[in-house]
């Protein structure tokens, strides 16, 4: 009896991470990368104390190059997309914590906090995995409040890129483009703080950083920047 044919999704999860990791490495070698306002992040990296990075889901592809330490765990969902992201990041030597801080979030949040206690840095796409685009969900704020680690917002823009027809218009920089990373003002969340106000403040800082990155590559920020869907998770 012959073996059952491999499901297309299983085949994709074997092939696509290899291709995606190769693309990210190629972009890292060919792109001219510029970092703006990253002094506070570099000082925190040098201190050895844990930190939290936050960036929009649409900027995920090239974000490994915004970080210089080698001990970070990225939150990824348990969806098919999350599995694809986790396998790709694994090939780049980046750890992932599986789960969602918006659905059954306590399990995922506890796993992340254990990582922070062990000295790991954390990374969130606070509007992921499914949006609304450009809207900060409370998971990253809850992690900052519980761990005491500061949040470093970062955005990027590429001089030449393609935007996918996805829910967040995922950005794919083209080879040999100039990539500008803009690091916003650090956000610290108190253990007893309400989560809503710092979430809106992080949202504002991320939009401002993205607008500045777009300006640096010579584009007027897209009309949606800073005025995403009014829906709140």
Tell me what pLDDT residue 63 has: 94
**Residue in the structure block whose two tokens are 């992932």:** 96
Q: Look up residue 14 and give its two tokens.
A: 């074997």
Tell me what pLDDT residue 131 has: 87
DSSP 222: P
Q: What is the pLDDT of residues 140-196, one digit of tens each?
A: 999 999 999 999 999 999 999 999 999 999 999 999 999 999 999 999 999 888 999
Determine phi and psi for 51, rounding to 5 degrees: -140, 165
pLDDT reading at 2 higher than 50 = no
Burial 141-152 (b: 16+ CB within 10 A, else e): bbbbbebebbbb
Burial 78-117 (b: 16+ CB within 10 A, else e): eeeebbbbbbbbeeeebbbbebbbbeeeeebbeebbebbe
Q: What is the pLDDT of residues 31-41, one digit of tens each?
A: 999 999 999 99
Q: What is the pLDDT of residues 135-146, one digit of tens each?
A: 999 899 999 999
């Amino acid at each position: 009896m012959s073996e059952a044919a491999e499901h297309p999704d299983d085949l994709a999860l074997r092939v696509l991470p290899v291709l995606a990791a190769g693309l990210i490495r190629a972009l890292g070698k060919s792109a001219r990368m510029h970092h703006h306002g990253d002094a506070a992040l570099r000082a925190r990296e040098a201190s050895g104390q844990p930190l939290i990075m936050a960036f929009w889901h649409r900027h995920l592809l090239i974000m490994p190059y915004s970080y210089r330490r080698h001990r970070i765990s990225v939150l990824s969902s348990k969806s098919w997309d999350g599995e694809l992201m986790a396998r790709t990041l694994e090939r780049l030597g980046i750890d992932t914590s599986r789960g969602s801080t918006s659905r059954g979030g306590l399990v995922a949040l506890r796993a992340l906090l254990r990582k922070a206690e062990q000295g790991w840095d954390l990374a969130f796409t606070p509007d992921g995995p499914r949006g609304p685009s450009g809207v900060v969900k409370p998971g990253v704020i809850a992690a900052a409040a519980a761990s005491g680690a500061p949040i470093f917002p970062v955005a990027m823009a590429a001089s030449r890129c393609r935007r996918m027809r996805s829910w967040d218009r995922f950005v794919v920089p083209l080879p040999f483009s100039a990539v500008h990373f803009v690091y916003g003002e650090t956000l610290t969340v108190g253990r007893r703080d309400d989560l809503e106000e710092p979430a809106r403040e992080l949202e504002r800082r991320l939009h401002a950083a993205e607008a500045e990155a777009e300006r640096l590559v010579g584009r007027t920020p897209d009309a949606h920047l800073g005025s995403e869907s009014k829906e709140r998770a």
